[in-house]
Amino acid sequence: MHPQTVLTLALLPSLSTAAETVLGVYIFSRHGDRTAKSTPPTILTDLGYSEVFSSGTWFRNHYIANGSPAQIHGIAPDIVKLSQITASSPLDSVLMPSALGFLQGLYPPVGSTLAQETLRNGTVVQAPLNGYQFIPVGVVSSGTLSEDTAWLQGSGNCANAIISSNNYFISPEYKTLDQSTRGFYTSLGPVINATIPADQTSFKNAFTIFDLINVAEIHNATIPSSDLLTNDTLTQLRTLADTHEFNLAYNASDPIRAIAGATLAAEVLQALNKTVAGAGKAPVTIQFGFYAQFQAFFGLADLTQTNPDFFGIPDYASTMTFELFTNAAPSPFPKPEDINVRFFFHNGTTGNNSAPVAYPLFGRTDNSLPWNDFVTGINKFAIGNQPAWCEACGNSTGVCASPSTSSSRSTSTGSGSSSSGGVSKAVAGVIGAMVTLAVILGVEAIVMLIAGLRLVKKNRLNAAMRQGSDTLKA
Ligand SMILES: *[C@@H]1O[C@H](CO)[C@@H](O)[C@H](O)[C@H]1NC(C)=O
Ligand SMILES: *[C@@H]1O[C@H](CO)[C@@H](O)[C@H](O)[C@H]1NC(C)=O
Ligand SMILES: *[C@@H]1O[C@H](CO)[C@@H](O)[C@H](O)[C@H]1NC(C)=O
Ligand SMILES: *[C@@H]1O[C@H](CO)[C@@H](O)[C@H](O)[C@H]1NC(C)=O
Ligand SMILES: *[C@@H]1O[C@H](CO)[C@@H](O)[C@H](O)[C@H]1NC(C)=O
Ligand SMILES: *[C@@H]1O[C@H](CO)[C@@H](O)[C@H](O)[C@H]1NC(C)=O
Ligand SMILES: *[C@@H]1O[C@H](CO)[C@@H](O)[C@H](O)[C@H]1NC(C)=O
Ligand SMILES: *[C@@H]1O[C@H](CO)[C@@H](O)[C@H](O)[C@H]1NC(C)=O
Ligand SMILES: *[C@@H]1O[C@H](CO)[C@@H](O)[C@H](O)[C@H]1NC(C)=O
C-alpha cells in the first residue's frame, strides 16, 4: 500500500469521531464483587469497591473530564452540577454502595484548592475528605423514576411474569437439563455441603451453587475438596447458571417474562428523551441494577442474536451504555432528526485496557441508529406507565385496582403499551405515599451509608430486600 494511503486511513477514524459530539448517556451497571448470596448478609467487598470505582473513573475519563475523547457537550468537568446527573439504585447493601463507589470515580474529590471557602469573618474553611463530592442516589425498587415506582417493581411484583418464570420449571427444556445434570451436581457435594444440603444440590439451584463456588474461587484460600473444581467443571457450572437465569428472565414466545427489561427500556427512553426534548437537560443518568434486568433486556433487544455471549450472566460491574450523539453542530441543540443512539456493553470492570464495545440493537447491522428509529424500536417492548404495566401484568388489585372508575379521566389518549398515559388520582395518591416512604428510607440509608457502610441496620435492610426478593437477582 502507498504510504500516503496508510496515513489517510489511519487518520480516518479520529477524523470521523472528531466531528461527532456526545449529548448524553444512560449507564446501567451491575454491582462489583460481593460475598455469596447463600451466606447472608451479602456485602460489597473491597475488590468490588475497586471495580466500580475503576469503572466510574473510566467513564469520567471518557465522558466527563476535560480532554476526554467523548466529553458530553456542556458537562461540568470537575465540580458536579447536580442538575446534570441522575443516579439511582435499589435499597440494597451491595447495589447502593456500588453506586456510591462508581460516583466517587465519576466525580472524585475536588482537592484542597477548590474544597475551601472564605467566611464573612475571613476564616478559611477546608472541606473534609479533600473535597469529597455528594451526589444523591435515588432509592427505587428497580428504576430511576421514583414517581412511578409501583410499575417499576420488576417481575417480583408482576403477576403474569411470576407465572411465566415459574413455567420455566415445568418446561421440557428445564426437566431435561435437570435430569442430565444430577450426577454433575451430586459430584460437587463435598465442595458445598457445608452450605447447601444434598437434596438442594441440583440444577434447580444452578445460580446459587455457581455463586457460592464463584465467590469461593475469588476469596477462599481453603475450599474443601477444591481439586474437584477443574476449569471444565467451573465452566460447566457457569454455563448451567447462565441457562437457568436467562430462561427465568426471558422467553421469546412469552415476552411478559422479561418485564424487568421492558420497564428498564422505558426508563432509558424517558431519560434520554428528557435530554432530546429538553435541549440538553439532564444529560447523565446512572442506574445500578440486577443482572436479570440485563438478561431480560438482552433478549428483548435481540442482542442474543447478534452475539451468543449475551445468553450469559454479565460479570460483576458490567455496564450497558446508551449514548446520544450528533454529527451536526451541538449548539444550538440539534433537532431530533440529527441525533443518533449507540449502544455499548462491557462485560465486567471497565478500565483503561478494557473499554465498552458497541453492538447493534434490535437485530440491525449498524452500531448506531437515528433517534427516531431507536424510539420506534424500543417502544415495541418498553412498558413505561402504570396502566400499561397493570394490563401487561394482569394485576387488578393494589395500585392496579378499579381502572375503569378513575382512570378514564386521565388516560383518554390510547392505551398503547408505551404511550405515556397518566395515572389516576386514586393511584397517584398511593404512589405519592410510596414515594414519601421511599424518600424517607432513602435519606436514612444515605445517612447510614455515610456513617459507615457496615452500620446499616440489617433487619430493616433485609425487610426491604425481602419485599422484592424474587427480583433481587443481583
Ligand atoms: C469566624 O466564623 C466562624 C463560623 O461562625 C467561627 O467558627 C470562627 O471562630 C470565626 N473566626 C473568628 C476569627 O472570629
Ligand atoms: C400483582 O399481583 C401479584 C400476584 O397476585 C402480587 O403478588 C403483586 O403484589 C401485585 N402487584 C401489585 C403492584 O399490585
Ligand atoms: C417458552 O415459552 C413457550 C411457550 O409458552 C414454552 O413452550 C417453552 O417451553 C418456554 N421455554 C422455556 C425455556 O421456558
Ligand atoms: C460433606 O462431604 C464430605 C466429603 O464427602 C463428608 O465427609 C461430610 O460428612 C459431608 N458433610 C455433610 C454435612 O454432609
Ligand atoms: C472458606 O471455606 C471454608 C469451608 O467451607 C469455610 O469454613 C470458611 O469460612 C471459608 N472462608 C471464607 C473466608 O469464606
Ligand atoms: C485453568 O484456567 C486458568 C485461568 O484461565 C489457567 O491459568 C490455568 O492454566 C487453567 N488450568 C488448566 C489445568 O487448564
Ligand atoms: C419526549 O418528551 C416530550 C416532551 O415531554 C414528549 O412530548 C414526547 O412525546 C416524548 N417522546 C418520547 C418518544 O417519549
Ligand atoms: C460475560 O463473561 C462471562 C464469562 O466471564 C460469559 O459467560 C458471558 O457470556 C459474558 N457475557 C457477555 C454478554 O459477553
Ligand atoms: C487511565 O488513563 C487515564 C487517562 O489516560 C490516566 O490518567 C490514569 O492514570 C490511567 N489509570 C490507570 C489505572 O492506569
User: Does residue 296 belong to any structural domain of this protein?
Assistant: yes
Nearest CA to ligand 9 atom 12: 352
pLDDT score at 227: 81
Output the domain CATH number for residue 82. 3.40.50.1240
Cα gap 120→289, rounded to integer Å: 45
Q: Cell numbers at residue 73, please?
A: 457537550
The answer to whether residues 265 and 140 belong to one domain is yes
pLDDT score at 152: 47
> 112 falls in which pLDDT band (50, 70, 90)?
confident
pLDDT score at 404: 52
User: Does residue 450 belong to any structural domain of this protein?
Assistant: no
Ligand nearest to the CA of 125: 1
Domains identified in the chain, total number: 2
User: Does residue 335 belong to any structural domain of this protein?
Assistant: yes
User: Does residue 464 belong to any structural domain of this protein?
Assistant: no
Ligand nearest to the CA of 117: 1
Print the domain residue range for 312.
Answer: 5-112+129-145+257-379
pLDDT score at 384: 85
Distance 118 CA to ligand 1 centre (A): 10
Q: Last residue of some domain: 379, 406, 435? A: 379
Q: Last residue of some domain: 206, 225, 249? A: 249
The answer to whether residues 54 and 172 belong to one domain is no
User: Does residue 365 belong to any structural domain of this protein?
Assistant: yes
Cα gap 374→265, rounded to integer Å: 11
The answer to whether residues 208 and 237 belong to one domain is yes
User: Does residue 133 belong to any structural domain of this protein?
Assistant: yes
The answer to whether residues 271 and 365 belong to one domain is yes
Nearest CA to ligand 3 atom 1: 251
Q: Which atom of ligand 7 has the smallest separation from the CA of 384?
A: 14
Distance 99 CA to ligand 7 centre (A): 28
CB of 352 within 6 A of ligand 9: the answer is yes
Nearest CA to ligand 7 atom 11: 273
| Segment 309-333, tens digit of pLDDT | 999 999 999 999 999 999 988 889 9
| Segment 407-463, tens digit of pLDDT | 433 333 333 333 333 333 333 333 322 332 333 333 333 333 333 333 333 333 333
The answer to whether residues 179 and 242 belong to one domain is yes
DSSP-assigned beta bridge partners for residue 310: none
| Segment 125-181, tens digit of pLDDT | 998 898 899 999 988 764 333 333 444 445 567 888 888 888 899 999 999 999 999
User: Which residue type, as a one-letter code, is found at position 188?
Assistant: L
Nearest CA to ligand 4 atom 5: 190
The answer to whether residues 273 and 233 belong to one domain is no
The answer to whether residues 134 and 264 belong to one domain is yes
The answer to whether residues 52 and 89 belong to one domain is yes
The answer to whether residues 296 and 361 belong to one domain is yes
Q: Last residue of some domain: 357, 379, 401? A: 379
User: Which residue type, as a one-letter code, is found at position 278?
Assistant: G
Ligand nearest to the CA of 196: 4
Distance 64 CA to ligand 1 centre (A): 37
The answer to whether residues 29 and 61 belong to one domain is yes
The answer to whether residues 139 and 39 belong to one domain is yes
| Segment 257-313, tens digit of pLDDT | 998 899 899 999 999 999 999 888 899 999 998 888 999 999 999 999 999 999 999
Q: Say yes or no to pLDDT of 467 above 90.
A: no
| pTM metric for this prediction | 0.81
